[in-house]
Amino acid sequence: MALKRIIPCLLYDGNGLVKTVKFKNPSYIGDPINAIKIYNDKEVDELILIDINATKQKRKPNFDKIADMASEAFMPFAYGGGVKTFDDFTKLYTLGVEKVVVNSLIQENPEVIKKVVAHYGAQAVVACIDFKKPLFGSKSPYSYAGHKIKQNLLDYASYLANDLGVGELMLYSVDNDGTWEGYDYEATGQILNHVDIPVIACGGCGSTADLKKVLYDTNANAAAIGSMAVYSKKGMGVLINFPNRELVIKE
């Protein structure tokens, strides 16, 4: 059986780490370098860092800061936020970033993504699907700016996997983000049955039981953790954290 990965997903606002609830109300967590050093000691599988303000503020990635982070990370390191050009991808890979997470670029300039995949390989690009249930209708993908994407969730996943050729999907539930109420198992299972590339479930993890359910019941390839990775417990203080893998192994 392929290794089921558990991946801390850290949100960065340009100054420090933050945590959101349903993509709103960011709370300060701490310094990313300190967090990365702790995750090194905990021997995490991978690490994802998303600059949540880069696209909103129309700025490029902070390459100097990313270089510092990548040099400290002893695990595969993925970065997303503000990446717009082929040269941006090249610079990130040169700095030691192994995977680049794309979101708004999918809508703005998908040809850049195709070029990156052709040059660096599918494994170097992760497409993030932010999705939520609108007031009326079924769960739908949304751009990072909050605009509903015209394709439905399954068609959009197929487009990313087959037309753009990305190597992995990160399925991020806006409704579940920061709630500690568990992943969106239904949507995760549907996507996994619809594409032939790895899927990372993200948004809502609150316990090792949630991890086991998404990794073995839906058969997700990986589970990203946010609140569980930076708080001791729900409603409690900051504690850079990682679950005991022995408690997550399928019995």
List residues with catalytic annotation: 130
DSSP secondary structure string for all residues of 97-161: --EEEESHHHHH-HHHHHHHHHHH-GGGEEEEEEEE--SSSS-EEE-TTSPBPSS-HHHHHHIII
Given the structure tokens 């739908």, which residue do they identify?
A: 140
φ/ψ of residue 118, rounded to 5: -65, -35
